Structure 1
Amino acid sequence: ALAASEKGDFKVFSDTDSGLNTSHKGLSRMLDWIEQDQVKTVFITHKDRLSRFGFEFIERLCKEHGTDIVILESREDKNAQEELAEDLMSLIASFSGRIHGLRSSRRKELALQAENMIEGKGGFDHE
């Protein structure tokens, strides 16, 4: 997101985390700035780029602090079925990313255990 202050200064806030990860540092910093009334306008390409879920809460916070949200590529011409399909695809993408992340951490754990076994440190629990 690109945020503009009253003075005309701009600040870019970005995150590369999964949609299900709730610790988005860039979003948190931007929300802090909004709560401190330091942001006049937030520019985003699409609504789901600001937050995959919970956009309405962010929008409400912005309104309470006099911050406008400008969506550069509006998708207002979608019907209800298209919106539902897009929401489902977002959910699938989020869960898919989370599953891949879990698999990745499991692979790292197994690699560490194998390395420990090679070095004679044990590492596997046998029952």
Structure 2
Amino acid sequence: RKGLQSLLDRVLGGTCKYIVVAHKDRLCRFGFDLISWLCSKFQTKILVLDEKNLSPEQEMVEDVLAVIHVFSCRLYGLRKYKNKIIEDNDLPRISK
């Protein structure tokens, strides 16, 4: 994510001391613990407003749902791209 990259640039540059997010997954879908560790190394605190205490099973279910969501969005994007290619008359056609 472009916004996450610029935020991490600010953290690494020492210009960001606090990060406030409504939910953990709003910062990143995966790797929250890694980003949290990195921020702590650069004296940046992360405040999650809606902190849920989930069991490991519930956390796993949320992670699996997030993975499914990412791939379904990616497939939808590929389908849209495929349709644009089919509709583009300027592209050469390859016979099978």
- Matches of 1:108 and 1:57, distance apart in 2: 38
Q: Which has the higher contact order (CA 8 A, sep 6+)?
A: 2
CA RMSD of aligned residues (A): 1.3
How far did residue 34 of structure 1 move? 0.5
Q: Which has the larger radius of gyration?
A: 1
Corresponding position of 2:56 = 80
- Matches of 2:60 and 2:17, distance apart in 1: 31
Corresponding position of 1:111 = 87
Corresponding position of 2:92 = 123
Q: Given the two structures, how large is their TM-score scaled by the length of structure 1?
A: 0.71
Q: Hey, which of these two has a bigger chunk of helix by percent? A: 2
- Matches of 1:31 and 1:79, distance apart in 2: 29
SS class of match (2:76): helix
The runs of 4+ residues in structure 1 deviating greater than 4 Å are none
- Identical amino acids, percent of aligned pairs: 33
SS class of match (1:42): strand
Unaligned runs of 5+ in 1: 1-23, 117-121
> How many residue pairs align between the two structures?
96
